[in-house]
Amino acid sequence: MLLGKYSFGIGDRFGHQGKAQLAGLIKARAAGAEITPVWNKSHREHSIIGTAPGDVRYEADAAVAACGWNGPYFVDADHIGISNVDAFVEASDFFTLDVADFIGRPAEAEAVDAFAARHELLMETLEIDGIAEPFDVQTSELRAIASKYLAAVQEAGRIYRHIADRKGAGTFVTEVSMDETDAPQTPVEMLIILAAIADEGIPAQTVAPKFSGRFNKGVDYVGSVEGFSQEFQQDLAVIAYAVEKLGLPADLKLSVHSGSDKFSIYRPIRAALRKFDAGVHLKTAGTTWLEELIGLASAGGEGLGIAQEVYATALGRMDELCGPYASVIDIDRGQLPSADEVASWDGETFASALRHDQSAASYNASLRQLLHVGYKVAAEMGPRFLDALQAYEETIAEHVTANIYERHIRPLFLGSR
């Protein structure tokens, strides 16, 4: 199951934009960047929208057939755990094992002892190519980190074996994710986590740490770009070391979650990937849905009416809608226009407030984040919303494709904007 050096997670809330998303990757291929599409959807999203994993498989297969895509592609059971994985087993061939909730659960003392005994080498001064200062991990530090993460990695092993028993080992891609937690993982922690993943026999092909800084949904990175750049390079160096010394799969790579729209770190990510000749998996934050809204608004008429209604309803239900995403959005309520004001906007005014163009005075990051979590409102509109997606398909598709290709693929994989 080869994921390829570069892969791109294209979540699609309503399952209508598969072809338009794939068109972005086809343009990338023509421009010289081979990128594997991965349609991802989490249990959380499925339950909010009322879809099932089989719907994502249907969308992916249909888009691939319609576009004549002959490269690999995957369907990702995103952020699953042992309690909800079963529903995904048949339709998915990529599993993101989310064990963030298990971080910090104390591991058994014998497990920590055994880990420390097995990995004495990690406690010698470690010169890792690409890291200026050698790692000097003391026994106490290694034991503390192992205590913090072993239970989480053991849980990942449990979920992995559960899936492998049902689907067969080697028939799916495995990602281990620890990004939905409060504290970022340091490169030393990453090294120890990877050692534990190797011990557990998980053939991880991607690993999603929590990086420093804020990765809010649908908006730019907030934090020190220089600090991120250093951390990202150290993580790449650690991965290369783990592949060589710990026997993890040769194509193991970093997965960046909520990676769409993090424009200010694309340049350092690209530079780091080139420096280390490394691959990456980048998951978008489900922002295709925002392109649908932009397309609807731009089309005017009933399309604009729906976009305005989604905003008005989302504004009135802000606390409920933001709840599940509280840790990954930062809305400044003072920046939100009233529903009446938005109702008076024409299509271009709505689109330019929402479109992620930070150089535009009209761009409103708070409005964008509120609408990002407002997809539940559109889901509740049912056929009215889905019919509009069809009626305005052409306009919407242009926005979806351009967003993926121009704003994401070009700066990340082609080095131009």
Question: Going by C-beta distance under 8 Å and a sequence separation of 6 or more, which residues neighbour residue 216?
Answer: 222, 258, 328, 329, 330, 369
Name the residue among 46, 47, 35 with its Cα closest to residue 10. 35
Cβ–Cβ < 8 Å for 221, 229: no
Query: Under the criterion CB under 5 A, does residue 179 sit at the interface with Zn ion?
Result: yes
Name the residue nearer to Zn ion (CB basis): 11 or 18: 11
Of 393, 304, 392, 399, residue with least CA distance to 348: 304
Q: Please, what is the minimum distance in Å from the beta carbon of residue 100 to Zn ion? A: 9
By CB under 5 A, which span of 251-259, 327-335, 363-371, 401-409 interacts with Zn ion? Answer: 251-259
Range in contact with Zn ion (rule: CB under 5 A) among 142-150, 188-196, 240-248, 252-260: 252-260
**From 10-18, 128-136, 254-262, 408-416, span contacting Zn ion (CB under 5 A):** 254-262
Residue 390 DSSP label:
H
- Does 175 engage in binding with Zn ion (CB under 5 A)? no
β-strand pairing of 253-256 with 74-80? unpaired
Residue nearest to Zn ion (CB): 257
Alpha helices per DSSP H over 300-336: 301-316, 318-322
CA distances from 349 to 37, 308, 361, 365, 406 (A): 32, 11, 11, 14, 21
SS3 211: coil
The span of 66-74, 104-112, 133-141, 255-263 binding Zn ion (CB under 5 A) equals 255-263
Min CB(49)–Zn ion separation in Å? 17
What's the min distance (Å) between Cβ of 314 and Zn ion?
Answer: 22
H helix intervals, 12-52: 18-30, 43-49
C-alpha–C-alpha distance, residues 197 and 32, integer Å: 34
**Interaction of residue 45 with Zn ion, rule CB under 5 A:** no
- Per rule CB under 5 A, count of chain residues that contact Zn ion: 2
- Least distance to Zn ion from the beta carbon of 215, Å? 9
* CB of 39 vs Zn ion, minimal distance in Å: 15
Q: Looking at 172-180, 220-228, 319-327, 329-337, which segment touches Zn ion (CB under 5 A)?
A: 172-180
Which of 27, 41, 143, 257 is close enough to bind Zn ion by CB under 5 A? 257
Q: What is the binding site for Zn ion (CB under 5 A)?
A: 179, 257
